[in-house]
Structure 1
Amino acid sequence: MASTSACPVPHEQRPQEEFQQLCASWFFTWPTTSQRSLDQALLISWLGIMPITMIVASGSWLLRNDLPRLLAAGAVSALVLPMLLLVRQWLGWSYVHKRLLSEQVEYEESGWYDGQVWEKPLAWRQRDLLMARHEVRPILGRLARAMAWTAGLMLIGASLCQAL
């Protein structure tokens, strides 16, 4: 079993450190505690972008005189921002999840051109597997549920715009 000092992987490129960096990030902490905290952050982003999407939607000749369709179009188009935020979070957390589950760590010593691979010791693999299963997987589940809800709301809203 290799010790931490024998590990050639730079500290900031170790999967556990990447996990800690995401946990310390303001943006990536949204889904870490609960579904409710993620939903609140997404609702705030949706409400924050809504005035802009309403202004853009009011530029349409067809919607300008049809207030219900204007509101529906603005609300649906405002869902794009929360969806983009969710996709970005999914990419970050799934990358860390993949690195935690891997038996090897790919790293760069000084730049993109000198990539190396280091085999994780058994103790690291066990710890990383626990982190992936009990810390990151629930986060990915919350993000998947939020993306499903957002996509569903977009579809419902788009069909509502057509029906009005």
Structure 2
Amino acid sequence: MSVCPVPAEQQPLRQYEELTASWFFRWPSTSFAALSRRLAQGWLLLLPITLLVASGSIPLRHDVPRLFAAGAVSALVLPLLLLVRQWLGWTYVHRRLMRERITYEESGWYDGQEWEKPLEWREKDLLIAQHQVRPVLGRLLRAISVLAALLLWGASLCQAL
């Protein structure tokens, strides 16, 4: 068996371990309820700021239900952006775990090399991708769907009021 030429920080398993150790990327790794709590906390922290900004609008200032609806919908944007960032990070690692070859850079000059994973690496990476990363991606997709639906519902509510 040959020695792995891929730098440690570019190995898919190492990248997975870094994600699971990260405070931010660990949110969706436990449960949907835990992820929802984190997103709700972010929404609640942002809500007073968005209400303050929305109150700068003279028509909204005199229409309290629309003011609150506009502020609440606007506060959903940050949690949605956080979810998209997490989705991108987890999808990147999932894709690298699923591939049979590892694309890596030996230097900072973008010299794109590829190294074929040994069979035992592939098996381990596939197991982690299927049983650890896929459930996280499922929770993220569910949360993104819920937030997108809330955004659309809130926007239609703002129009209806």
TM-score (norm 2): 0.98
- 1:47 corresponds to which residue? 44
Q: 2:43, 2:109 → 1: CA distance?
A: 37
* Corresponding letter in the other structure for 1:53: T
Q: 2:93, 2:32 → 1: CA distance?
A: 20
Structure 2 residue ranges without an equivalent (≥5): none
Classify the secondary structure of the residue corresponding to 2:154: helix
Classify the secondary structure of the residue corresponding to 2:5: coil
* Corresponding letter in the other structure for 1:13: Q
Question: Residue 109 of structure 1: CA displacement?
Answer: 1.1
Paired residues for 1:1-164 under 5 Å? 2=1, 6-164=3-161
Structure 1 residue ranges without an equivalent (≥5): none
Encode CA deviations 1:56-90: one digit per residue, 9 max, x unaligned: 11111110100000000000010000000000000
RMSD: 0.8
TM-score (norm 1): 0.96
* Corresponding letter in the other structure for 2:27: W
Encode CA deviations 1:34-62: one digit per residue, 9 max, x unaligned: 01110010000101111111111111111
Query: Matched residue pairs, number?
Result: 161
Runs of 4+ aligned structure 1 residues displaced above 2 Å come to none
* Corresponding letter in the other structure for 1:142: R
Q: 1:143, 1:162 → 2: CA distance?
A: 29
Q: 2:109, 2:16 → 1: CA distance?
A: 21
